[in-house]
Amino acid sequence: MPEKTANSSRRTSSDGISRVYRQRFDHETGLHIEHDPLAIEEPLQISLQWQDPDSKKRHIEEWSVTMRTPGDDAHLIRGLLYSQQVIMHFDQILAIELADDEACNAENHWLVTLDHAQAHAMDNQTRRYISQSSCGVCGVTSMRALSLQREISVDNSVEWLDVATVSAMPELLSAQQPLFAATGAVHGAGYFADGKLIAVAEDVGRHNAVDKLIGRLMHQQLLQPQGILVLSGRVSFELMQKAAIAGIAVVVAVGAPSRLAVDMARQFDMTLIGFTKRHRFNIYHGHTRLRSVK
Protein backbone atom coordinates (compact mmCIF):
# COMPACT_ATOMS: atom_id res chain seq x y z
CA MET A 1 0.00 0.00 0.00
CA PRO A 2 1.50 3.40 -0.93
CA GLU A 3 2.27 5.69 1.96
CA LYS A 4 -0.01 8.65 2.57
CA THR A 5 1.47 11.92 3.81
CA ALA A 6 -0.57 14.77 5.23
CA ASN A 7 -0.28 18.28 3.89
CA SER A 8 1.72 20.29 6.43
CA SER A 9 1.14 23.72 4.86
CA ARG A 10 -0.38 25.04 8.10
CA ARG A 11 3.09 25.86 9.39
CA THR A 12 3.85 29.52 8.77
CA SER A 13 7.50 29.28 9.90
CA SER A 14 8.45 26.79 7.19
CA ASP A 15 11.80 28.48 6.72
CA GLY A 16 12.78 27.43 10.25
CA ILE A 17 13.54 31.01 11.28
CA SER A 18 12.12 33.20 14.06
CA ARG A 19 13.03 36.88 14.25
CA VAL A 20 13.62 38.64 17.56
CA TYR A 21 14.88 42.02 18.69
CA ARG A 22 18.38 42.16 20.11
CA GLN A 23 20.77 44.79 21.43
CA ARG A 24 24.14 44.86 19.69
CA PHE A 25 27.00 46.48 21.61
CA ASP A 26 29.86 48.10 19.76
CA HIS A 27 32.81 49.62 21.65
CA GLU A 28 32.82 52.63 19.32
CA THR A 29 29.14 53.28 18.66
CA GLY A 30 27.43 51.81 21.75
CA LEU A 31 24.10 49.95 21.82
CA HIS A 32 21.89 49.40 18.78
CA ILE A 33 18.54 47.59 18.60
CA GLU A 34 18.30 45.27 15.60
CA HIS A 35 16.36 42.30 14.29
CA ASP A 36 18.12 38.96 14.68
CA PRO A 37 17.08 35.80 12.78
CA LEU A 38 17.24 32.73 15.03
CA ALA A 39 16.89 29.06 14.16
CA ILE A 40 13.67 27.57 15.54
CA GLU A 41 13.99 24.63 17.92
CA GLU A 42 10.75 22.84 18.85
CA PRO A 43 9.81 19.37 20.09
CA LEU A 44 8.58 16.84 17.56
CA GLN A 45 6.41 14.10 19.02
CA ILE A 46 6.02 10.93 16.99
CA SER A 47 3.32 8.39 17.78
CA LEU A 48 3.01 5.00 16.13
CA GLN A 49 -0.25 3.25 15.37
CA TRP A 50 -1.23 -0.05 13.80
CA GLN A 51 -4.34 -2.18 13.51
CA ASP A 52 -4.63 -5.76 14.66
CA PRO A 53 -5.83 -7.73 11.60
CA ASP A 54 -7.95 -10.11 13.68
CA SER A 55 -9.59 -7.94 16.31
CA LYS A 56 -9.45 -4.76 14.15
CA LYS A 57 -8.40 -2.96 17.32
CA ARG A 58 -6.21 0.08 16.76
CA HIS A 59 -3.09 0.41 18.90
CA ILE A 60 -1.33 3.75 19.48
CA GLU A 61 1.99 4.28 21.25
CA GLU A 62 3.98 7.43 21.88
CA TRP A 63 7.38 6.57 20.44
CA SER A 64 9.63 9.62 20.21
CA VAL A 65 10.12 13.19 21.29
CA THR A 66 13.02 14.90 19.56
CA MET A 67 14.07 18.54 19.41
CA ARG A 68 14.33 19.72 15.83
CA THR A 69 14.01 22.64 13.44
CA PRO A 70 10.49 22.49 11.91
CA GLY A 71 10.36 21.70 8.23
CA ASP A 72 10.81 18.41 6.36
CA ASP A 73 9.13 16.66 9.29
CA ALA A 74 7.85 13.76 7.19
CA HIS A 75 11.34 13.12 5.80
CA LEU A 76 12.80 13.38 9.30
CA ILE A 77 10.30 10.81 10.57
CA ARG A 78 11.06 8.40 7.73
CA GLY A 79 14.80 8.71 8.22
CA LEU A 80 14.55 8.40 12.00
CA LEU A 81 12.35 5.30 11.91
CA TYR A 82 14.72 3.72 9.40
CA SER A 83 17.96 4.62 11.16
CA GLN A 84 16.55 3.49 14.53
CA GLN A 85 15.58 0.22 12.85
CA VAL A 86 11.90 0.50 13.72
CA ILE A 87 11.24 -0.24 10.05
CA MET A 88 13.33 -2.32 7.66
CA HIS A 89 11.69 -1.01 4.48
CA PHE A 90 9.78 2.16 3.68
CA ASP A 91 6.72 0.26 2.51
CA GLN A 92 6.20 -0.69 6.17
CA ILE A 93 5.02 2.91 6.70
CA LEU A 94 1.41 3.11 5.56
CA ALA A 95 0.78 6.77 6.42
CA ILE A 96 2.34 9.84 8.03
CA GLU A 97 -0.11 12.51 9.15
CA LEU A 98 -0.54 15.30 11.65
CA ALA A 99 -2.12 14.04 14.87
CA ASP A 100 -5.38 15.45 16.20
CA ASP A 101 -3.94 16.63 19.51
CA GLU A 102 -5.40 19.62 21.34
CA ALA A 103 -2.75 19.40 24.07
CA CYS A 104 0.13 19.80 21.63
CA ASN A 105 0.93 22.27 18.87
CA ALA A 106 -0.81 20.64 15.93
CA GLU A 107 2.29 20.91 13.77
CA ASN A 108 4.54 19.25 16.37
CA HIS A 109 2.74 15.91 16.80
CA TRP A 110 2.74 13.39 13.98
CA LEU A 111 1.04 10.01 13.76
CA VAL A 112 2.69 7.20 11.79
CA THR A 113 0.67 4.18 10.71
CA LEU A 114 2.80 1.04 10.50
CA ASP A 115 2.23 -2.30 8.90
CA HIS A 116 0.93 -4.47 11.75
CA ALA A 117 3.53 -7.20 11.20
CA GLN A 118 6.41 -4.77 11.62
CA ALA A 119 4.75 -3.14 14.62
CA HIS A 120 4.60 -6.50 16.40
CA ALA A 121 8.23 -7.17 15.46
CA MET A 122 9.42 -4.14 17.41
CA ASP A 123 11.20 -4.98 20.64
CA ASN A 124 11.44 -2.89 23.78
CA GLN A 125 14.56 -1.12 22.53
CA THR A 126 12.72 0.43 19.58
CA ARG A 127 9.53 1.33 21.42
CA ARG A 128 10.90 4.35 23.26
CA TYR A 129 13.22 6.96 21.85
CA ILE A 130 13.90 10.42 23.27
CA SER A 131 16.59 12.73 21.94
CA GLN A 132 17.80 16.30 22.22
CA SER A 133 18.85 18.44 19.29
CA SER A 134 22.48 17.87 20.26
CA CYS A 135 22.29 14.10 20.66
CA GLY A 136 20.53 11.43 18.67
CA VAL A 137 21.30 8.51 20.99
CA CYS A 138 20.65 10.19 24.35
CA GLY A 139 17.43 8.24 24.77
CA VAL A 140 19.04 4.86 24.20
CA THR A 141 19.09 2.85 27.42
CA SER A 142 21.44 -0.01 26.54
CA MET A 143 24.44 -0.79 24.34
CA ARG A 144 22.34 -3.45 22.63
CA ALA A 145 20.11 -0.71 21.27
CA LEU A 146 23.14 0.76 19.47
CA SER A 147 23.86 -2.47 17.59
CA LEU A 148 22.73 -2.95 14.02
CA GLN A 149 19.78 -5.25 13.49
CA ARG A 150 20.21 -5.55 9.72
CA GLU A 151 22.83 -6.56 7.19
CA ILE A 152 25.02 -3.68 6.04
CA SER A 153 26.05 -3.52 2.40
CA VAL A 154 28.05 -0.67 0.86
CA ASP A 155 29.63 -0.37 -2.58
CA ASN A 156 33.27 -1.51 -2.59
CA SER A 157 34.32 -0.22 -6.03
CA VAL A 158 37.79 1.34 -6.10
CA GLU A 159 39.25 4.54 -7.60
CA TRP A 160 35.99 6.22 -8.53
CA LEU A 161 36.12 9.31 -6.30
CA ASP A 162 38.24 12.24 -7.50
CA VAL A 163 40.19 14.16 -4.87
CA ALA A 164 39.29 17.52 -6.43
CA THR A 165 35.62 16.65 -6.08
CA VAL A 166 36.10 15.85 -2.39
CA SER A 167 37.84 19.17 -1.72
CA ALA A 168 35.04 21.12 -3.40
CA MET A 169 32.16 19.47 -1.56
CA PRO A 170 32.09 21.51 1.69
CA GLU A 171 31.84 24.82 -0.16
CA LEU A 172 29.17 23.47 -2.49
CA LEU A 173 27.18 22.30 0.53
CA SER A 174 27.63 25.60 2.36
CA ALA A 175 26.32 27.54 -0.65
CA GLN A 176 23.03 25.61 -0.38
CA GLN A 177 22.44 26.21 3.33
CA PRO A 178 20.12 29.25 3.54
CA LEU A 179 19.15 28.59 7.16
CA PHE A 180 22.78 28.55 8.28
CA ALA A 181 23.50 31.66 6.24
CA ALA A 182 20.67 33.47 8.02
CA THR A 183 21.22 32.22 11.57
CA GLY A 184 24.62 30.53 11.87
CA ALA A 185 22.95 28.05 14.23
CA VAL A 186 22.24 24.87 12.26
CA HIS A 187 24.05 21.85 10.86
CA GLY A 188 23.95 20.80 7.24
CA ALA A 189 24.02 17.43 5.50
CA GLY A 190 24.31 16.98 1.75
CA TYR A 191 24.26 14.06 -0.65
CA PHE A 192 26.45 14.00 -3.75
CA ALA A 193 26.29 11.59 -6.67
CA ASP A 194 28.17 11.79 -9.97
CA GLY A 195 29.89 14.92 -8.71
CA LYS A 196 26.60 16.78 -8.23
CA LEU A 197 24.81 17.90 -5.08
CA ILE A 198 21.52 15.99 -5.13
CA ALA A 199 19.89 17.00 -1.83
CA VAL A 200 20.52 19.11 1.29
CA ALA A 201 18.96 19.17 4.76
CA GLU A 202 19.48 21.55 7.69
CA ASP A 203 18.57 21.30 11.37
CA VAL A 204 19.69 22.41 14.83
CA GLY A 205 20.60 18.75 15.40
CA ARG A 206 23.24 17.20 13.14
CA HIS A 207 21.56 13.80 13.51
CA ASN A 208 18.22 15.33 12.50
CA ALA A 209 19.79 16.85 9.39
CA VAL A 210 21.08 13.42 8.37
CA ASP A 211 17.73 11.76 9.09
CA LYS A 212 15.90 14.40 7.04
CA LEU A 213 18.33 13.84 4.19
CA ILE A 214 18.18 10.04 4.26
CA GLY A 215 14.39 10.08 4.62
CA ARG A 216 14.11 12.21 1.49
CA LEU A 217 16.68 10.21 -0.49
CA MET A 218 15.01 6.89 0.24
CA HIS A 219 11.45 8.14 -0.20
CA GLN A 220 12.33 9.69 -3.58
CA GLN A 221 14.61 6.78 -4.55
CA LEU A 222 17.65 9.01 -5.04
CA LEU A 223 20.27 6.84 -3.33
CA GLN A 224 23.04 5.54 -5.60
CA PRO A 225 25.78 2.95 -4.96
CA GLN A 226 28.51 5.59 -5.23
CA GLY A 227 26.82 8.37 -3.29
CA ILE A 228 28.57 10.54 -0.72
CA LEU A 229 27.29 12.00 2.56
CA VAL A 230 28.83 15.41 3.30
CA LEU A 231 28.59 16.91 6.79
CA SER A 232 29.09 20.53 7.80
CA GLY A 233 30.69 19.64 11.14
CA ARG A 234 32.21 16.72 13.00
CA VAL A 235 31.47 13.02 12.53
CA SER A 236 30.14 10.94 15.41
CA PHE A 237 29.42 7.23 15.68
CA GLU A 238 25.69 7.75 15.19
CA LEU A 239 26.16 9.62 11.91
CA MET A 240 28.39 6.86 10.56
CA GLN A 241 25.77 4.34 11.67
CA LYS A 242 23.02 6.20 9.82
CA ALA A 243 25.18 6.30 6.68
CA ALA A 244 25.96 2.58 6.94
CA ILE A 245 22.30 1.65 7.38
CA ALA A 246 21.43 3.68 4.27
CA GLY A 247 24.22 1.96 2.30
CA ILE A 248 26.29 5.14 1.87
CA ALA A 249 29.93 4.13 1.45
CA VAL A 250 31.64 7.54 1.73
CA VAL A 251 31.33 10.20 4.44
CA VAL A 252 33.10 13.55 4.03
CA ALA A 253 33.13 16.05 6.89
CA VAL A 254 34.37 19.57 7.51
CA GLY A 255 35.31 18.62 11.07
CA ALA A 256 36.94 15.73 12.88
CA PRO A 257 35.65 12.21 13.44
CA SER A 258 35.40 10.54 16.82
CA ARG A 259 37.38 7.37 17.48
CA LEU A 260 34.19 5.32 17.42
CA ALA A 261 33.30 6.82 14.03
CA VAL A 262 36.65 5.64 12.67
CA ASP A 263 36.08 2.20 14.17
CA MET A 264 32.74 1.96 12.40
CA ALA A 265 34.31 3.01 9.09
CA ARG A 266 36.85 0.22 9.49
CA GLN A 267 34.23 -2.33 10.51
CA PHE A 268 32.12 -1.79 7.38
CA ASP A 269 34.97 -0.70 5.08
CA MET A 270 33.52 2.78 4.55
CA THR A 271 35.56 5.74 3.37
CA LEU A 272 35.79 8.38 6.09
CA ILE A 273 37.31 11.79 5.34
CA GLY A 274 37.60 14.66 7.81
CA PHE A 275 39.03 18.17 8.15
CA THR A 276 38.13 18.73 4.51
CA LYS A 277 39.46 21.96 3.05
CA ARG A 278 40.04 23.26 -0.46
CA HIS A 279 43.60 21.93 -0.73
CA ARG A 280 43.78 19.11 1.80
CA PHE A 281 41.84 16.58 3.85
CA ASN A 282 42.46 13.63 6.15
CA ILE A 283 41.58 10.07 5.11
CA TYR A 284 40.83 7.94 8.17
CA HIS A 285 39.83 4.82 6.27
CA GLY A 286 38.96 3.67 2.77
CA HIS A 287 41.53 5.45 0.59
CA THR A 288 41.08 2.83 -2.16
CA ARG A 289 37.88 4.53 -3.35
CA LEU A 290 39.82 7.68 -4.23
CA ARG A 291 41.70 8.15 -7.46
CA SER A 292 44.60 10.52 -8.14
CA VAL A 293 45.96 9.79 -4.65
CA LYS A 294 49.74 9.37 -4.66
For the packed helices 259-267 and 237-245, what is the interaxial angle rounded to 10 degrees?
A: 20
* 154 closest CA partner among 289, 292, 283: 289
Quickly count: other Cβ atoms within 10 Å of residue 111's Cβ: 19
For the packed helices 206-219 and 73-83, what is the interaxial angle rounded to 10 degrees?
A: 90
Catalytic residue (choose from 135, 168, 172, 222) = 135
- Return phi, psi of residue 253, to 5°: -130, 150
Q: Is residue 279 annotated as involved in ligand binding?
A: yes
Residue 135 annotated to the active site: yes
The residue count of the chain comes to 294
Which helix (H) or strand (E) segment holds residue 42: the answer is: strand 42-51
Residues 229 and 238 sit within 8 Å (Cβ to Cβ): no
Q: Is residue 277 annotated as involved in ligand binding?
A: yes
Q: Is residue 276 annotated as involved in ligand binding?
A: yes
Q: Is residue 280 annotated as involved in ligand binding?
A: yes
Q: Is the torsion defined by CA of 137, 143, 145, 151 positive or negative?
A: positive
Q: Is residue 141 annotated as involved in ligand binding?
A: no
* 239 closest CA partner among 198, 275, 190, 194: 190
Alpha-carbon separation of residue 283 from 100, 184, 224, 256, 264 (angstroms): 49, 27, 22, 11, 14
What torsion, rounded to 10 degrees, do the Cα atoms 82, 80, 203, 40 define? Answer: 150
Q: Is residue 29 annotated as involved in ligand binding?
A: no
Please enumerate, by residue number, every residue annotated as part of a binding site.
Answer: 275-280
What is the set of active-site residues? 135
